[in-house]
Structure 1
Amino acid sequence: MPESRFHSFHAHGLVRVAAATPVASVGDVATNAEAIAALIADADRRGVDLVVFPELALSSYAIDDLLLQDALLDAVEQGIAQILAASEALAPVAVVGAPVRRGGRLYNCALVIARGALLGVVPKSYLPNYREYYEKRWFASGAGLAGLEVTLAGQTVPFGADLLFAAADLPDFIFHAEVCEDYWAPLPPSTHGALAGALILCNLSASNVVVGKAREREMLAAAHATRTLSAHIFSATGAGESTTDLAWDGQAMIHELGDLLGRSARFDRTPELLVADIDVQRLRLERARNGTFNDCAAAAGHPETRFRRIGFTHQPHMRDAGLERPLRRFPFVPDDAARLDEDCYEAFNIQVEGLAQRFRATPGDHMVIGVSGGLDSTHALIVAAKTCDRLGLPRAAILAFTLPGFATGEATKANAWALMKALGVTAAEIDIRPAAERMLADLGHPFADGEPVYDVTFENVQAGLRTDYLFRLANQRGGFVIGTGDLSELALGWCTYGVGDQMSHYGVNAGVPKTLIQHLIRWSIATAQFDADTDMILDAILATEISPELVPAGADGAMQSTEDRIGPYALHDFFLHHIVHHGLPPSKVAFLAWHAWRDAAAGHWPPGFPDDARVAYDLGTIARWLRIFLTRFFATSQFKRSALPNGPKVSPGGSLSPRGEWRAPSDGSAALWLAELDRALPESDGALNR
C-alpha cells in the first residue's frame, strides 16, 4: 500500500468510534441540536467514523409529559433537519437519540445520520415501567417492527428493529443500534444484531445514576461485548437533565470483547467525546474461529435473514491520524500492577498444578531437570520446588543437574549451583565436555583437531548430550524429565529438535512466553514464595543476558547472545500474540508494533520493568525482526512443534501444541506472509534491513 495508507488506521481494519456526552437541557431542543452538531464537528476533526449520543439527546430525557406535546415534537423534527444540514460535509456517522412520531404512536428512537442523510430509524424495543421508570406512559414498543418506513425532515427511510448499517467502502464497519433498557433485557436486541453480522453495538442510554450503577453498567457492557464477540459503545446522558427526582452522571464506555478501551469522566459539566479505535478485523477473525458463535446464530434462526442491511458510502479519509487505542508493548504482561499480580498467580499455579498431576500419574519417585542458570531452567526448577511443597514431598525428590559444556560461564554455573542448594534439591554436576569431544572426534569435526569451528553441529552435540544424560538419568533413577523450553522459543524454533528445550516427558514452560517468565520470577520474589537467599539468586539470574552458552566467548569476552541473533523477545512475543492468537496480517502487526514501540518514553511499562531496558524500535527494525519471525514460524520450525510433549496451556492464545490451539503443516512456506508485509511497507522502510 502507498506510504500514506500504511500509516492510516483505516488501512489496517480499524474503525474510530466515539461516545459523546453533550451537556443536556430540560427540553431545550434547539440548544440540544446545536450541542449535538458541535460534537459531530469535533468528531470529524478527530477522524471519528461513528459517534454515539445518549438516549433522547435531542429532546432531553427527563421531561415527562412534555414528550406528548406537539410543540416539542415539532421542534424535534426541526432539530433533526438542523443536524442533517450541519453534518452534510462531515465524515462521522452519528447515532442520535430522539422521540419520533409514526402512525399515531410515539417511539423512543436511535436516528442514524451520515453526511446529511438519514439512513434509518431504530425504535426502542423494551420500555421500562418499574420503579422510577414509566416510559409506557409516552412511548410504544418497537419490538417486532420490521420492514417499515418513516418520513422525517423530508426524508423517507427504513424504520424498525430489524436494521443493520454497513459501510460499502470500509470493510467490517457494520453496526447495530439499540436504546437503553434494551441493553438490560435478558436477550438484548443487539444480540440478534451481532448474530446477524454487526461487529459494533451501540447503546444510547439515559440511565439515571444511583450508588453502584456505574459498576453494573460496566459489567454488562464488558460481558455483552465478550459474549457477542463485538465492540460495544455506551453513552449515557449527563449534566443538564432535570434532577426533579433523579440524577445523571454521563457515563460513557467503549469495550472491545472484554477489554475496556476507554471510559469518560463522570459528573462533568463539559461536553466530552470519548474516542477509541476498534479493531473490527480482529472481531471478524475471532468470530470466524468461534464455532459456538455460528451455532448460536443457527439456533436463533439465522437472524441475518431477518435484518435489513442498510448500506452507505462512508468515504474514510485514509490519512495518518495516529492511533486512539490502548496498546500494550507486552501483550502477555499486564501494565496494571494488580492485574499483573493476579495473572502471575494464575500462571504459576497452572504450571504447578499441571506438573503435580503429571507427577501423580507417572510411575517413579523423582523429577529430573537440567539447570543452566538461565531464565527458563530457573523458572522450571522453582515450579518443580513448589510442586513438591504442594504434594508434601521433600524437594530432594528433584534431581537437578548442571551440565557444563565448552562455553558455560562461571557466573551462570555458579548461579545454577547456588539456586539448587538454596532450594534444597538433590544437586549434581556432569561435565559433558569429554563426551562431546569424543562425539565430535567420531564425526570428524574440525574442533576435535583444535580448530575453532563453532557451527550448528558443535552447538547441537552439546545440547543433545545434555538431553541424553537427563533421559538416561531418569531411566536409571525412576523419574521423568521436566522440559524447560518456553513458548517464545517454540514459536521461533529456537530449540534443537529432540533435546531439552523441545523434548521432555513434560514441558512445564511450553505455554509461557519469555517476557512473562521474567515477570513470574519477579513475582516469586515479590510474593515471598521462597526465602531471602533464594530471592538474591533469582535477582542475579534475572540480570544475566539471555544466552544458550554453546559457543565460547569472543576475544572481547562477549558471550553468545540469543537476542543479537534472532531479535528481541519483546518484539517476537508481540508478533506471536497478534499473528497467531488473532490471525492479523503482518503489515498490521508492523503498524501496531510501530505505534507500541516507537517511543520508549511514552505509554506504560509493566511494573518492575527495568529502566535501562526501556528501548524504542523504528519501523525498519520492526520489519527486519518481523521477517525473521515469519520465516521461522511459518517455514522452518513447525515440525518441532508437531512433536511437542505434553505441557499446560497458560496464556490466552498461548498454546502451540499440535493437540491444542495451533495446527499447521510442517512443510509450509512463509512466502505469502513475507510478500504481504513487503507490499504494504512504505517505500522508505520496506527495503530497510531485509
Structure 2
Amino acid sequence: MRLALAQLNVVVGDLDGNGAKIADAVRTARTAGADLVVLPELAVTGYPPEDLLLRPAFVKAARTTLEEIAASTRGITALVGCPLFDRDLSNACAVLSDGAVAGVYRKRFLPNYGVFDEHRYFAEGRELMLLRAGDVLVGPTICEDIWQPGPPATDLALAGAQLLVNLSASPFHVGKAEDREEMLVTRARDNASYLAFCNLVGGQDELVFDGHSVVLDDEGEVIARAPGFEEALLVVDIDPTEAIGRRLRDVRRRELERSRERLPEIPVVEITAPRARTEAAPGTIAPFLPELEQMRRALGLGVRDYVDKNGFESVVLGVSGGIDSALSAAILADALGPERVHAVSMPSRYSSAETRDDARALSENLGLDFREIPIEPVLAAFTEALAPSFSGRGADLTEENLQARIRGTLLMALSNKLGWLVVSTGNKSEMAVGYATLYGDMVGGFALLKDVFKTDVFRLCRHLNERAGRELIPASTIERAPSAELRADQRDDQSLPPYELLDPVLEAYVELDRSREELLSEFDAATVERALALVDRAEYKRRQAPPGVKLRPRAFGRDWRLPITKRSQP
C-alpha cells in the first residue's frame, strides 16, 4: 500500500480555501501513486473552530465542502477530518472514496483539559469502523483516541486492523513532538499494528501545530517522518500484512481477546485497493530539531500565521536596546521579512546612550525600518497636566508607568494610522509576576514572547547569533543587566529576584502546580515567597494581555484559568 500523509496549514473558518487545499493535496497524492491519503483532524474547518460549531449554517456549509472534496477522490481514498451532524454533532473522519462519502468514523475520546474544550461542542462516538483495501484492514482513529492505551486501538487491532490511522490536531509545546512519538511507538508495539499519524501544522491564535506526521511499523520503528513547522506531503510504501506473522507468534493479543466477554462487531467499508507498481516510495525521515531551534521555528510560525491569517501587512514594535525587544525584532524579521517590520525607539531622559545605540544597531543588523520618537516632550505635558492633582506627592511608580503608557499610546497611534499590528515584547517571567504596565508595554495585538521565560530569552538570542554566523543582536544587549530604564540606575533585580533563581520557581508553580511547601523545600525561601505573592496578585493584568504563542506545557491564556478575585492558596 502506498500511503500519503498531507500535513496541511489550514485557516479556521475558511471552508472554501481549506476545501481547495485539501482537494489539491488529494490530487497530488494520487499523482504520487498513493492508494490512501490521510488529512488532519477537522481539516475542513481548521482547528479549533470553537463556537463557530454552534452555528448550524457553518456546520451545514462544512458538510457541503466535504462533499465537494469527495469529487476529487476518483481512484484514491482520502480520510478527511470534518464536523458532521447526524442527530448531534461529531468530530468525524469522513472516508472519501471514488468520488463519494463511503463512511464516517466519529471520535470517541473528546479531550476536555488544557487548551481543549471538545465536550462543549461534540457528542462522543460509539461505533468503530474498519476499511478494507485489498488484503489490508485499516482502523481509523482521531487524535485523543490514540492517546488512550486501550480501545479503540486495541479493539480495532483485535478485529484485524493491520494499519491504525490517526487524524490529529496536536498542539506544540517544547518536548511535545518527541513525547508524542514515544507514545505512538508504544501503541504500535502493543497492538502489533502499523501506525500512521497525520498532524496539523500552523498557527491558530495562541496555538501552534508542529506537524511531525509519522509512519511506524508494527514493532514501533519509524519508517517515515515529515518535518516540523511546515507543510508536507509524506509518501511511503508499507506492507502492513507483514504484521500477521508476528501477531501469530504474539500470545498477548489472544489473552486480551479471551478476557473480553464479547468483541464489538465492526462494520467493514471497502475502499480503493492497492495498485501494482514497479517503483518504490521508501519515505523520508526528517530529524527532530534541537530544542532552541524548535522554539525559534514555533515562535516564527505562530506570529507569521497570526499576522497573515488576520490580514496585516506589517508589524511595529518598540525597540529599547533591551534583550526582549531585540529577540522579538529578530524573530519577526526572520518570520515576516525585514521589510514588514517597523522598529520604534522611544527614548526618555533615563535612556542611556548605550541602549539607544543598541536599538539603532539592532535595526540596522536586521534591515528594519527604524525611527526614533523621543517621549520627553509628551512626558512633560502629562506631568504639567497632572501637577495640580499630584501636588504635595513625590515621584513614584506613577511616573514610571506614565512613560510606558506614553510609549504604548505612540505605538497604537502608528498602528491606527498606518495599519501596522503592534507586537508587544514582554516575556513570561514578567507576565507571571506582573512586572509589566497595563496599557503601556503590555499594549499590542500579539505578545510574541508571552510564553518565553527570561532565561530562555537569553538562550534564544545567543542561538540566533550563532545560527546567523554574525551579530544580529548586539553583544552588549545580551551582556547588559536587564533594566526597564524608567528611573535613574534602574535594574530588574532591584524589583525582582535574579531571573536564574526566579524562573525555576515560576516553572514549578505555574506549569507544575507545585505547592508553597514543596517549593520551599527545594528553592530559596525568599524567592519563593516573593514570586508566589507576585504571581497571585498579577492575575488581573494577565487577563487583559494580548494572545501570544504557546510554547510551554502550560501557558497563560487558554490553559490557565484562575480567578482574579481569590484568597491565596496553599
Structure-2-length-normalised TM-score: 0.48
Larger radius of gyration: 1
